[in-house]
Amino acid sequence: MEPTIATRNLIIRLDQISKSFSGKLVLNRLDLSIFENEIIAIIGPNGSGKSTLLRIISGLSTVSTGIREICTDTKRIGYVPDRFPKLRFTPLEYLHDMGRIHGIVPDKLAQRINELLSVFHLEESANRRMVGFSKGMLQKVNIMQAILNQPNLLLLDEPLSGLDQDSQQELIFLLQSFKNQGLTMVMICHEPLLIRTVADRVVSINQGNIVSDQSSRINQSVDSVIIKVRLHHSLFPDELNNHPGILKVQIHDGITTVHVDSHHSDSILRKLLQEDASIVSVNHTEYENEVFHFRDSSILYGEDVEQ
């Protein structure tokens, strides 16, 4: 039988939290509880407050009003920022420094780093400076620094953003194996494949508040539609961002690509046509035939790694 909410262990509770920057309200009296072993996907349009929310959950940012109750060791929260700089360090140097900051004893740290380099297939690049790394390699180091200290809660801000398809697939496998090991995760993402294969719960944010919070069993039937259009006035993308069902808006070479929840695709197409947009293409994302082979190694908790 599935556990009821009352019997699950709470990790973090946000109670009526608001956040303002220079008087601008970004999060507005938002409530969110995160329970042990949950994988939550946070979705929403650009500027809706997702990263701000994740930073508040992590403790990197404070609330303006409201309560953040934390029921886990704050040192065991791993955070994967959306951008990881091309540092002049090698992964080995960087991870050793990060481990020392976390207070991991040297022997255990060396063992843990070797283990992670192997799991992430980065052994051969361990002594190369990260300035020459691809986005996919940098993202692996970004995730490695976040799980170095064996977190109870892992927060990821758009972990697949900007990666090619192979790197995306590799990271999805890793996140699936984290899930299989029982790690609690909150990730900002918009990729239907990641949501469908990893998330248990999908929290949708718009204009600083939660507009829906659903088990992904409901969302498993939600596919995304990618609409490509040419827009005839530049103000419209901002307006579009606030439309329900918009997952992401990207503009490149005069073409606006709108990722939408398929339940809202008709209304969004109507709106685009009303705005005199020229439709370039409309595609359903199809991931049904993807096959997953992931190995369930003890990436998070290691074999004998202790501190």
Is 241 an interacting residue with respect to ligand ATP (CB under 6 A)? no
Which secondary structure element, helix H or strand E, spans residue 219, and what is its range?
A: helix 216-219
Contacts for 160 with CB less than 8 Å, ≥ 6 apart: 167, 168, 171, 172, 189, 191, 194
Tell the smallest beta-carbon distance from residue 125 to ligand ATP (Å).
Answer: 28
CA atoms within 13 A on the CB side of 154: 27
- How distant is the alpha carbon of residue 117 from its chain centre? 22
Q: For ligand ATP, which is the closer residue by CB, 42 or 277?
A: 42
Strands (E), the chain: 10-21, 24-35, 39-43, 65-70, 77-80, 153-157, 184-188, 201-206, 209-215, 224-230, 246-252, 255-261, 278-284
Q: For ligand ATP, which is the closer residue by CB, 48 or 197?
A: 48
Q: How far apart are CA 297 and CA 181, in angstroms?
A: 9
Q: Number of residues in contact with ligand ATP, rule: CB under 6 A?
A: 10
Q: For ligand ATP, which is the closer residue by CB, 37 or 61?
A: 61
Measured from the Cβ of residue 12, the count of other Cβ atoms closer than 10 Å reads 22
The residues in 22-81 that bind ligand ATP, with binding defined as CB under 6 A, are: 26, 44, 46-52
Reduced to 3 states (helix: H, G, I; strand: E, B; else coil), residue 1 is: coil
Q: For ligand ATP, which is the closer residue by CB, 26 or 92?
A: 26
Structure token pair of residue 281: 């293409």
Q: How far apart are CA 157 and CA 84, in angstroms?
A: 11
Kindly report the backbone phi and psi dihedral angles of residue 86, in degrees, each rounded to the nearest multiple of 5, phi listed first.
-80, 85
Q: For ligand ATP, which is the closer residue by CB, 128 or 243?
A: 243
Kindly report the backbone phi and psi dihedral angles of residue 94, in degrees, each rounded to the nearest multiple of 5, phi listed first.
-65, -45
Q: For ligand ATP, which is the closer residue by CB, 251 or 273?
A: 251
Tell the smallest beta-carbon distance from residue 241 to ligand ATP (Å).
Answer: 9
Contact with ligand ATP (CB under 6 A) among 9, 21, 276, 298: 21
Tell the smallest beta-carbon distance from residue 46 to ligand ATP (Å).
Answer: 3
Residue reference for tokens 């005069």: 254
Q: For ligand ATP, which is the closer residue by CB, 20 or 176?
A: 20
Tell the smallest beta-carbon distance from residue 228 to ligand ATP (Å).
Answer: 19
Using CB under 6 A, list all residues that contact ligand ATP: 21, 26, 44, 46-52
